Amino acid sequence: MAEEVARLTLAVLGQALLSSDLTPFAALAGAFDVAQDQAMFDMVTLDLVPPWIPTPRNRRFERAQRQLEDVASALIAERERDYLPGAGDMISLLLDAYRDEPDSRLRHRRLRDELVTILLAGHETTASTLSWTWYLLDRHPEVARRMHAEATEVLGDRKPGHDDLSRLTYTTMVIQEAMRLYRRSGVCRARRPVRTTSAVTGCRPAPTS
């Protein structure tokens, strides 16, 4: 099921964020797994293994990284070629944000890296949330029935849009409960800003307590 959900998530991410068909890039799911695994490894080993040592793990990660970067570059190049006026999606927003960057290599690199971050951040989190939700629904058919009833009542035969989210209250509760029970982001550590910004003074060190 995880594979099927990974494919679905990629397709939804592509349509919702990029107005692009990502299904030809199904192999990306493997690259996401490798990147995720590497992030966990670096976290657990406190970055003790330098990335330049050609261990099988490092070489695997390098390949995955290149694959992700190549896809991001291809998506950007495609959009630059066929500009979609008013698309309002993530690629358009990024292209607009970096339009004034004079260094074209830097501009491309930043765009590419932003897109890889969004793809990575949005893929695994969503795929694992959906996988756990379906696992739980399978174990609790009465909840699945209630969710389906809500979808029928709110949506009828049409596809859901953003405005429907606030009306799908039971569905929202189910997904939130799945995330509470099976939290994939639990490894993220708390953050404290090292600097705060002030319109008057610019950046200054944040208070320590």
**Which residues are at the interface with ligand HEM (CB under 6 A)?**
17, 117-118, 121-122, 125-126, 129, 179, 185, 188, 191
Between 187 and 203, name the residue whose CB sits nearer to ligand HEM: 187
Our CA angle for 104, 24, 79, nearest 5°, is 30
Q: How far is the CB of 179 from ligand HEM (least distance, A)?
A: 6
Residue reference for tokens 């292209």: 95
**Shorter beta-carbon distance to ligand HEM: residue 149 or 206:** 206
The secondary structure element, H or E, covering residue 46 is none
Cβ 33 to ligand HEM, closest distance in Å? 17
Counting other chains too, the contacts that 8-12 makes at CB distance below 8 Å and 24 or more residues apart are 8/127, 8/130, 9/123, 9/126, 9/127, 9/130, 10/123, 12/126
Quote the least distance from Cβ 127 to ligand HEM, whole Å: 9
Residue closer to ligand HEM by CB (options 47, 153) is 47
From the CB of 42, what's the least distance to ligand HEM, in Å? 14
Closer by beta carbon to ligand HEM, 54 or else 193: 193
